[in-house]
Structure 1
Amino acid sequence: MTTLHDRLVALYRAGHRRKVTGLRDDVDWMPEGQPRRAAVLVAITDRPLTSEDPSSPGPGILFIQRPTKMRRHPGQVAFPGGGIDAGETPVQAALREAEEEIALPPSRVCVIGESDRYRTGSGFDITPVIATVPPDLPLVASPAEVDSWFEAPLSFLLAPENVNKTTAKLMGRQRHVLEMQFGDYRIWGVTAAILDNLRRRLLRGAPL
């Protein structure tokens, strides 16, 4: 039987071999100067795609909510991640940050690969790292960096009908952004755009 990890590996390899148009990127909004390299971990919980148990939650993606008192992106929902230190690869940085922020052991992460970089209007050049992790790990949010963590269903996140377009004032300018509302959590901006790129890259509009 094909596992979720195997299915994602196949989709990743096929999706990154083909040309995909319309991927989102804020490179035109980036400030002048050298961007700050960063990496985020798109950690997908390795649950079966289908189950005879109707109450089974299925696979999901782990997110953090940043403290409201942070100088950068206060209160926002994001993937675990942060800046790439000197000598680090994006994968190493994403794993290190995830361990620091939610105590996710790197040894429990099965990396699939890096995806399309996303340049932001705040001067970051972000590499998403796609991986699977065991479900129901005893994760703990670091209070200095994270208010809370949560998991949202993969089926919800990759469904185009759950994505809304709205406007927001960013860096002093009005901009069009994507957003999804999952319960009390608003997933928007760069995080929603990276998810949209992954959907375009992996699924070509087809179901998982």
Structure 2
Amino acid sequence: MTLAERLSRALESGHAQDMALLTGDHRDGAPDIATPTQAAVLIAVTERAAPGVLLTRRTDTLSNHPGQVAFPGGRIDAGDSGPVAAALREAEEEIALPAASVQIIGIADRYRTITGFEVTPVIGVVPPDLVLTPSEAEVAEVFEVPLDFILDSANHLEAAVEWQGHNRHYYEIFWNDQRIWGATAAMIVNLSRRLRWGS
């Protein structure tokens, strides 16, 4: 079975009623945002014997989430036909990942952030060792984390911090010197629960 077939089958069979999925960066006692901004990210899985996931580290000069690890992605523009088109466009703009090289597998669970975005993760398979060029204005580096590592629940660490007068609960994942946390980590946790990879 190919990687694309494994991912597709896992994504389709993962819709269990009892699945505990994260719905947002929770703040105790904080109201929800009624009309979130729609966004999309690309979860690009590399086609190799031990598949990996492409992630970026944002530049320290960005006004929003500087230096944080994230999937390529951003808001869905009026010219985009939907989340898939937005995710592919943003990946090409941020890391020069050609849209034609992405085999779309499907859409994972949407995730609502505390900053007012509802993010649709788009799952795709890409060839290994593509030459990727980070956008200097947005992306400090591109790196790859093994899929098995990132989906292993043993690597999903729960944490909490007080933020703007409320308790904020979040997950973090450490890979080498990279700290993956917040919305990106939560989408990974959801994907892990959805795919039940290796089970």
Question: Same fold judged by TM-score > 0.5?
Answer: yes
Contact 1:20-1:201 at 8 Å conserved across structures? no
What is the 5 A alignment of 1:44-193?
44-48=45-49, 58-88=50-80, 89-171=82-164, 173-193=166-186
Structure 1 residues 142 and 10, CA, compared in 2 at 3 Å: closer, same or farther?
same
Q: Distance in 2 between matches of 1:26 and 1:162?
A: 19
Q: Distance in 2 between matches of 1:84 and 1:110?
A: 20
Q: What amino acid is the match of 1:5?
A: A
SS at match of 1:41: strand
Normalising by structure 1, report the TM-score. Answer: 0.88
Gaps of 5+ in 1: 49-57
Q: Which has the higher contact order (CA 8 A, sep 6+)?
A: 2
Contact 1:41-1:129 at 8 Å conserved across structures? yes
What is the 5 A alignment of 1:33-44?
33-44=34-45
In the TM superposition, residue 21 of structure 1 has moved relative to its aligned partner by: 2.6
Structure 1 residues 20 and 198, CA, compared in 2 at 3 Å: closer, same or farther?
farther
SS at match of 1:193: helix
Structure 1 residues 87 and 170, CA, compared in 2 at 3 Å: closer, same or farther?
farther
Q: Decide which moves more: 76-85 or 21-30.
A: 21-30
Q: What amino acid is the match of 1:25?
A: T
In the TM superposition, residue 68 of structure 1 has moved relative to its aligned partner by: 1.2
Q: Distance in 1 between matches of 2:26 and 2:147?
A: 30
Contact 1:121-1:171 at 8 Å conserved across structures? no
Contact 1:41-1:80 at 8 Å conserved across structures? yes
Contact 1:112-1:132 at 8 Å conserved across structures? yes
Q: Distance in 1 between matches of 2:137 and 2:124?
A: 25
Q: Does 1:207 align with 2:198?
A: yes
In the TM superposition, residue 9 of structure 1 has moved relative to its aligned partner by: 1.2
Report the counterpart of residue 6 of structure 2 in structure 1.
Answer: 7
RMSD, aligned CA: 1.7
Q: Decide which moves more: 172-181 or 77-86.
A: 172-181
In the TM superposition, residue 31 of structure 1 has moved relative to its aligned partner by: 5.2
In the TM superposition, residue 87 of structure 1 has moved relative to its aligned partner by: 4.3
Q: What amino acid is the match of 2:39?
A: A
Q: Distance in 2 between matches of 1:148 and 1:169?
A: 30
In the TM superposition, residue 166 of structure 1 has moved relative to its aligned partner by: 1.3
Q: Decide which moves more: 126-135 or 6-15.
A: 6-15
Contact 2:26-2:168 at 8 Å conserved across structures? no
SS at match of 1:42: strand
Give the aligned length. Answer: 195
Query: How high is the sequence identity, in percent, across the aligned residues?
Result: 49
Gaps of 5+ in 2: none
In the TM superposition, residue 34 of structure 1 has moved relative to its aligned partner by: 2.2
Contact 1:20-1:200 at 8 Å conserved across structures? no
In the TM superposition, residue 66 of structure 1 has moved relative to its aligned partner by: 0.6
